[in-house]
């Protein structure tokens, strides 16, 4: 176990000599220090991030990467910090750097996909989530995110397949039922659309979007009374949300 000394110095775990930040080897016993130094910086950055000190965490990671520019985990963590501060281009750059060093880093592919999704680039997001699933076919969040990206790209058949896989793996993905309903609705598959919207409502009380879509389906087939009841429920839940705010 290493101990930090004054400033940016590191104490050699073998002989106790206090080494400078840039030292690769202990001047007293010759022990290789870089790994210990890297771990120390990484752990310190994680502590800063956990305790909400994003600026300090970013500084530690940037200094670590000056010495170890291809460190996959440090690049990924720095990408997360950039993502949460809204600088998506910098986040993407760091995720890609992490993946160039560790191509099988499944979380790196996933977070890269999320960043591209929020950037509005669905083709890139789709490729990232597909890469994620090539490594881990049971990564349920990747199925859901891939389905969303395909949905927004207009690839409804593929989106439907991945929404269904997401629900199979994790039934708690309630919005997957809503999107399935929308896809079925667009294909004029009204019975399937109704089932999906109903599941969304049953599992998430007051799911307003599904209520409105169901009301539209009922109104289209001439059931104005049921449609109005659903619209009333949607309005009541909307008012409740506004009052809670």
- Has residue 62 got a pLDDT over 90? no
> Contact at 8 Å (CB) between 18 and 5?
yes
The label of the residue with tokens 């599904």 reads: 210
**Residue that wins the pLDDT comparison between 184 and 4:** 184
Sketch the domain layout of the chain as residue ranges: 1-102
Average pLDDT of the residues of the chain: 81
| More confident site: 168 or 53 | 168
Mean local confidence (pLDDT), 149-157:
96
Q: Per mean pLDDT, which range of 127-136, 152-161, 170-179 is the poorest?
A: 170-179
pLDDT at 2 over 50: no
Residue with the bigger pLDDT between 25 and 181: it is: 181
pLDDT for the residue numbered 206: 47
- pLDDT score at 65: 82
pLDDT of residue 50: 74
* 115 and 83 Cβ atoms separated by less than 8 Å: yes
CA distance 183 to 172: 19
Residue 208: CB atoms within 10 A of its CB come to: 16
128 half-sphere exposure, CB direction, 13 A CA radius: 27
Per-residue model confidence (pLDDT) at position 41: 66
DSSP per-residue letters across 186-199: HTT-HHHHHHHHHH
Rounded to whole angstroms, how far apart are CA atoms 181 and 197?
5
pLDDT digits (tens, 9 = 90+) for 73-109: 889 999 999 998 899 999 999 999 999 999 999 999 9
Residues 9-23 have pLDDT tens digits of 666 666 677 777 666
What pLDDT, on a 0 to 100 scale, did the predictor assign at position 205? 46
pLDDT of 70 reads 86
User: What integer is the mean pLDDT of 187-201?
Assistant: 88
Q: Residue 19: in which H helix or E strand, if any?
A: strand 18-19
What is the mean pLDDT of the segment spanning 58-77? Answer: 84
In this prediction, residue 58 carries a pLDDT of: 81
> Does residue 241 surpass a pLDDT of 60?
no
* Model confidence band, residue 133 (pLDDT cutoffs 50, 70, 90): very high
Is residue 143 within 8 Å of 165, Cβ to Cβ?
yes
The listed CATH number (1.20.120.550, 3.40.190.10, 3.40.50.800, 1.25.40.10) that belongs to domain 1-102 = 1.25.40.10
Q: Which pTM does this prediction carry? A: 0.75
Is 149's pLDDT higher than 50? yes
* DSSP result, 164-218: HHHHHH-TT-HHHHHHHHHHHHHTT-HHHHHHHHHHHHHHSTT-HHHHHHHHHHH
């Amino acid at each position: 176990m290493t101990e930090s000394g004054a400033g940016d110095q590191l104490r050699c775990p073998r002989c106790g000599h206090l080494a400078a930040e840039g030292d690769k080897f202990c001047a007293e016993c010759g022990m290789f220090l870089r790994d210990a130094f890297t771990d120390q910086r990484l752990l310190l950055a994680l502590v800063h991030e956990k305790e909400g000190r994003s600026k300090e965490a970013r500084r530690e990671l940037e200094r670590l990467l000056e010495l170890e520019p291809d460190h996959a985990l440090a690049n990924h963590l720095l990408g997360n910090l950039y993502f949460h501060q809204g600088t998506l281009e910098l986040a993407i750059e760091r995720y890609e750097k992490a993946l160039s060093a560790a191509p099988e880093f499944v979380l790196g592919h996933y977070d890269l996909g999320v960043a591209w999704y929020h950037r509005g680039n669905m083709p890139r997001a789709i490729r990232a989530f597909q890469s994620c699933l090539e490594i881990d076919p049971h990564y349920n969040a990747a199925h859901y995110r891939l389905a969303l990206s395909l949905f927004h790209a207009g690839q409804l058949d593929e989106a439907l397949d991945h929404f269904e896989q997401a629900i199979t793996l994790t039934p708690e993905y309630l919005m997957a039922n809503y999107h399935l309903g929308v896809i079925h609705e667009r294909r004029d598959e009204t019975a399937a659309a109704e089932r999906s919207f109903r599941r969304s409502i049953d599992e998430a009380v007051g799911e307003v979007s599904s209520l409105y879509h169901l009301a539209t389906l009922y109104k289209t087939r001439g059931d104005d009374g049921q449609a109005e009841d659903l619209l009333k429920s949607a309005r009541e839940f909307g008012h409740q949300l506004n009052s809670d705010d």
